[in-house]
Amino acid sequence: MDSALFPKGVQRCAMGKFLLGISLASAVLLWGVIGMLLCWIKGLNQTNMNDYYGFALWIWADLAVIALGGGAFFTGLLKYIFGIDELKNIINLAVLIGFICYSSALLILAIDVGQPLRSWFIFWHANVHSMLTEVAFCLSVYFAVLTIEYIPLILENRQLDKVPFIHNLTHNMHHIMAVFAATGAFLSFFHQGSLGGVPGVLFGRPFAFREHILVWPFSFFLFTWSAAAYGPCFTLFINWIIEKASGKQLVKENVKQLLAKISGWMIITYIIAKIVDTVYWATSTAPARGFTLMDFYSNNALYGIWILFAELVLCGVVPGLILISPKLRANQQARLIAIILGVIGVSLNRWVMVLQVMAVPVMPFDTWALYYPSWQEVATTILPVAYGVILVMISYRYLPIFPQEVELNPIEPLSTEAVAEIEGEKETADEASVPEGEPAPA
């Protein structure tokens, strides 16, 4: 029914099956929208947050999706600045994931603040000393960059591409995309870092506080580094899900292994830096404020030392070692385990740097503050996941996200008329010399 909208030379599932999938995701989305409206209309009393837990599930979700969406800027950096050309075959997906992650983060922030209509105050009355100000500026601008990067992908839809103006616009946008890739990398360095700075500057919270290099706490650099390291894991993970759902291989093995290898080395170097940071913090920063390491990991029901082990070793060292080993990363099962551990690892790091910070008592006579989210918080956190699923489904169905799909999945020989039609379209495209599926930068 909608086959005229499909990218050339590919097959898609039946409309009914597609709509069924969209409907299921929409039901979840609707649940999230109800939670969102309740929070906006009735206020944040709909959550289980309290005066000890001012930052909770949403801020974790924000930090996590931004870290996971880090694959967009880092893959763009590798492709356009470092010239690793093979990554053109996965960069469209990285951009799409980045767009979903960043738009989700902005939506969650809009729900999270007590007075959403005053959100613009952060720009108007900006406090330049606040890490959150830097986050807001860089995040907003980078989202605009991601939007600009996503637009050519939309315009490459088979039918839109037939319009000469759109065709030429896409062509010209591709030519200037390297500029946006560089801008995106620059902005990402700062907002990923300033998100790390958000807990790192809290000198009233010894669990979060880190020593500084000039005005930046160590966590500033570690957050950027970890987003670059683990972001590609998430890109590979989503790629695996789409391949499983579609039943097709969409990206060649050498491309996946290349990205996995780069991710692996980034994880290993990051985790070494993170361990050094942790040791220094545990032996110098915290004791100077009267805390031992175990003060942060005992006398409560949830946060034991296991969480530090899980973050650093199980979801840090282990996936890093798997991905830097040529033999192991060539093994699809091992690689999958590594990228899943990586995704969990960076999410766990963000959890610890937000929720555990709130939980640890600082005044000696105070107690641990533990919290569980309300259904409204859970629904509004799952909302972006449902939105992401819908956007991925639509994008995959109608846009040339995977340049290698046609080659990897040749379809049955076509009738003479169909071949003639495709030939005709190909000639038109060749005249404008824009190859289909040309990757967008991140």
Partner 1 sequence: MVIDLDKCTGCGTCMVACMAENNVPFREDETDKRLSITWMKVYKLTNGKPYPDAEICYLPRPCQHCEGHHTGHSPCVSVCPATATDYDGETGIVSQIYTRCFGCRYCMGACPYHARYFNWWDPVWPGDMEKYLSPNVSPRMRGVVEKCSFCFHRYQLALEKAIMEGRDQLEEQEYQTSCTQACPAGAITFGDLNNPEHKVHQLAQPDPHHHGRPRNPEVFRLLERLHTNPKIYYLSTREWVRRAGDNYVKDESKSAHHE
Per CB under 8 A, residues contacting partner 1 are: 43-45, 49-55, 112-116, 118-119, 121-122, 124-127, 129-133, 136, 198, 201-206, 287-292, 295, 357-358, 362-366, 369
Give the shortest CB-83-to-partner 1 separation in angstroms. Answer: 38
Give the shortest CB-379-to-partner 1 separation in angstroms. Answer: 18
Give the shortest CB-216-to-partner 1 separation in angstroms. Answer: 14
Give the shortest CB-303-to-partner 1 separation in angstroms. Answer: 17
Which CB atom, from 26 or from 133, has the smaller least distance to partner 1? 133
Give the shortest CB-206-to-partner 1 separation in angstroms. Answer: 7
Instruction: For helices 218-246 and 253-280, give the axis angle rounded to 10 degrees.
Output: 150
Compute the distance between CA of residue 118 and CA of residue 293 in angstroms, rounded to an integer. 40
Which CB atom, from 123 or from 306, has the smaller least distance to partner 1? 123
Do 177 and 80 touch, CB atoms closer than 8 A?
yes
- Going by DSSP bridges, is the β-strand pair 216-217/212-213 parallel, antiparallel, or unpaired? antiparallel
Joined tokens for residue 221:
């650099």
Query: Which of 204, 254, 200, 265 is CA-nearest to residue 229?
Result: 265
Q: Name beta bridge partners: 212.
A: 217
Give the shortest CB-428-to-partner 1 separation in angstroms. Answer: 50
Which CB atom, from 213 or from 330, has the smaller least distance to partner 1? 213
Do 384 and 60 touch, CB atoms closer than 8 A?
no
The radius of gyration of the chain's CA atoms, rounded to the nearest angstrom, is 23
Compute the distance between CA of residue 282 and CA of residue 118 in angstroms, rounded to an integer. 39
Which CB atom, from 316 or from 373, has the smaller least distance to partner 1? 373
How many angstroms separate the Cα of 81 from the Cα of each of 31, 78, 232, 386?
A: 42, 6, 17, 33
Do 138 and 183 touch, CB atoms closer than 8 A?
no
Give the shortest CB-209-to-partner 1 separation in angstroms. Answer: 9
Which CB atom, from 17 or from 289, has the smaller least distance to partner 1? 289
Give the shortest CB-136-to-partner 1 separation in angstroms. Answer: 6
Joined tokens for residue 330:
């060539």
Query: Which of 123, 79, 76 is CA-nearest to residue 97?
Result: 76
Which CB atom, from 24 or from 288, has the smaller least distance to partner 1? 288
Which CB atom, from 67 or from 136, has the smaller least distance to partner 1? 136
Instruction: For helices 15-42 and 375-398, give the axis angle rounded to 10 degrees.
Output: 150
Which CB atom, from 119 or from 254, has the smaller least distance to partner 1? 119
Compute the distance between CA of residue 95 and CA of residue 156 in angstroms, rounded to an integer. 14
